[in-house]
């Protein structure tokens, strides 16, 4: 005889009363509090509930206390990553580029100047020439600044009486040697053929005049006919093509620059301020130093409106000292970059995921944003850094292979590559025109008999243009936030600190499972 077995029937009430059944994963606090240093690959974020489209996700974020970006993406101040071309592309896509300082101060300031001149609303300090200047002067301006639409005034200065304008159409066929000495008064488009606007016109009205006139430039003059400003048609087109571009109050692109903490860096800073830089990064592998604290205080006193990013830091103690000194944001990371060997050589640093969480959790109490710098290899890593409290991420190797990165492409075994090196590499520290900028980052100077490298040199596969690659990153970020169940990066941090966002440690096998596996061959196309 077979006996009967009593099976208890669970009801919904039983399940709803048992809150432990609904607990899944752990909070960020519990994840990091284990005491082990974690990298981005050591954990995964658990999915949430989707009730909106990916297009609705808002990627707006704070770079510093006073600078807001439309995308949480920053290019690293490395001499194989960010000069003017990279900074322009990053700003057009809603992020920002930080110009490296491994060059002469004048060269760095000129890179900043190129970015600020790239896109304007009202150009309040346009290049101006006089009728007695020559075609060769215009060609020199074109070579140095990349444009040749130049207003002509009687005295060759802004504020002088406008008499005409020289554009590329006026000199297209005058580049032969015989024509270089022709006076601009003989080749310019005269005032009677120009469309102008009076002072007091709004940017919207000025843009409307440009659209209707089909002219390339719109000079702004006062009642006496004196030149006050200029608006370019190309700027109007750029505004339409890149609506989320990072811009200042004058509609110029935002740009940052790196400096050191030496006394001579004060001269560099002065040139950068004159060029219009919006934010400076104090570039040091270990930012918790008396040198950086004194430089922060100097900048705050001398340039009170200039935003300062301090770093690099990885501990609460380091962050505390720089926050008290007055920094407007913190750069977090030490030894986690793909070309950095600081942790290996110096035995100092911290696993990046742990560093980002610890510093961000402390810094938020003072409303100081955090930049996660280093270890970013994919969209997933960006999302994880933001989910641990970072406001933005800084990218080096992820952008180094793009066409906007400095350097020339070369081929190796049929693969198109670009050079990429750490600023702590001997190659970067020995750059002759750098005046010791890279060495200063690692507390070396030109008189040292021996330098200890904290970086390597390598190469990166071609990634195409930043203007295509960064939108791919943004699209991936929006879909990642959708899977998590958050409509904005601000809400993502709220979910994390409240414990609503859940994480889980990953074993090595789980990490292998989460990547491509079990295939004989495959092609990995990102976009």
| Residues annotated catalytic, as ranges | 340
**Whether 428 contacts 103, CB under 8 Å:** no
Residues 6+ apart with CB under 8 A from 205: 197
**Whether 170 contacts 149, CB under 8 Å:** no
CA 441 to chain CA centroid, nearest Å: 20
Closest CA to 114 of 136, 133, 140, 86: 86
Distance CA 376, CA 397 (A): 8
Closest CA to 430 of 439, 422, 442: 439
**Whether 113 contacts 136, CB under 8 Å:** no
Residue 241 vs residues 92, 93, 236, 237, 467: alpha-carbon distances, Å: 9, 10, 9, 6, 11
Closest CA to 246 of 238, 237, 255: 255
Distance CA 504, CA 442 (A): 36
Distance CA 211, CA 239 (A): 13
Distance CA 246, CA 253 (A): 6
Beta strand 96-99 with 256-259: parallel, antiparallel or unpaired? parallel
Beta strand 189-190 with 329-332: parallel, antiparallel or unpaired? unpaired
Beta strand 370-373 with 329-332: parallel, antiparallel or unpaired? parallel
**Whether 98 contacts 76, CB under 8 Å:** yes
Residue 393 vs residues 23, 39, 490: alpha-carbon distances, Å: 30, 15, 15
Count of Cβ atoms closer than 10 Å to residue 244 Cβ: 16
Closest CA to 164 of 236, 122, 215: 215
């Amino acid at each position: 005889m077979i006996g009967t077995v009593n099976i208890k029937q669970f009801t919904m009430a039983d399940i709803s009363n048992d809150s432990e059944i609904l607990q899944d994963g752990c909070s960020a606090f519990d994840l990091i509090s284990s005491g082990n240093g974690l990298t981005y690959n050591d954990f995964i974020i658990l999915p949430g509930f989707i009730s909106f489209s990916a297009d609705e996700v808002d990627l707006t974020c704070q770079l510093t206390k006073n600078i807001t970006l439309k995308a949480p993406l920053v290019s690293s101040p490395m001499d194989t990553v960010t000069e003017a071309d990279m900074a322009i592309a990053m700003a057009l896509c809603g992020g920002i580029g930080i110009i490296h300082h491994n060059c002469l101060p004048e060269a760095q300031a000129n890179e900043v100047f190129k970015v600020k001149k790239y896109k304007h609303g009202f150009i309040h300090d346009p290049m101006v020439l006089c009728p007695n200047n020559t075609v060769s002067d215009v060609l020199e301006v074109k070579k140095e600044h990349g444009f040749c639409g130049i207003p002509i005034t009687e005295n060759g200065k802004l504020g002088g009486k406008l008499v005409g304008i020289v554009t590329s159409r006026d000199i297209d066929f005058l580049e032969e040697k015989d024509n270089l000495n022709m006076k601009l008064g003989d080749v310019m488009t005269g005032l009677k053929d120009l469309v102008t606007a009076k002072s007091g016109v709004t940017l919207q009205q000025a843009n409307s005049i440009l659209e209707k006139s089909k002219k390339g430039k719109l000079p702004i003059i006062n009642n006496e006919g004196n030149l006050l400003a200029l608006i370019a048609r190309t700027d109007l087109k750029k505004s339409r093509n890149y609506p989320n571009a990072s811009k200042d109050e004058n509609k110029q692109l935002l740009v940052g620059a790196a400096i050191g903490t030496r006394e001579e860096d004060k001269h560099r800073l002065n040139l950068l301020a004159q060029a219009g830089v919006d934010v400076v990064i104090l570039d040091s592998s270990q930012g918790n130093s008396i040198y950086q604290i004194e430089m922060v205080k100097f900048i705050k006193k001398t340039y009170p409106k200039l935003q300062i990013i301090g770093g690099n830091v990885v501990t609460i103690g380091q962050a505390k000292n720089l926050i008290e000194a007055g920094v407007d944001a913190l750069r977090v990371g030490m030894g986690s970059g793909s070309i950095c060997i600081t942790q290996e050589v110096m035995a100092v640093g911290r696993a990046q995921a742990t560093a980002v969480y610890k510093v961000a959790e402390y810094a938020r109490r003072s409303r100081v944003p955090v930049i996660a710098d280093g270890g970013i290899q994919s969209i997933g890593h960006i999302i994880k850094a933001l989910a641990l409290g970072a406001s933005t991420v800084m990218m080096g190797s992820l952008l180094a292979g793009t066409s906007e990165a400095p350097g020339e492409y070369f081929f190796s075994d049929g693969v198109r590559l670009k050079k990429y090196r750490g600023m702590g590499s001997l190659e970067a520290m020995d750059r002759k025109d750098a005046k010791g900028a890279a060495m200063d980052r690692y507390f070396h100077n030109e008189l040292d008999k021996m330098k200890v490298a904290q970086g390597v040199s390598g190469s990166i596969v071609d990634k195409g243009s930043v203007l295509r690659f960064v939108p791919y990153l943004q699209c991936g970020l929006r879909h990642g936030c959708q899977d998590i169940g958050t409509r904005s990066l601000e809400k993502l941090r709220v979910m994390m600190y409240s414990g609503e966002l859940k994480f889980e440690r990953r074993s090595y096998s789980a990490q292998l499972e989460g990547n491509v596996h079990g295939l004989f061959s495959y092609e990995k196309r990102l976009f």
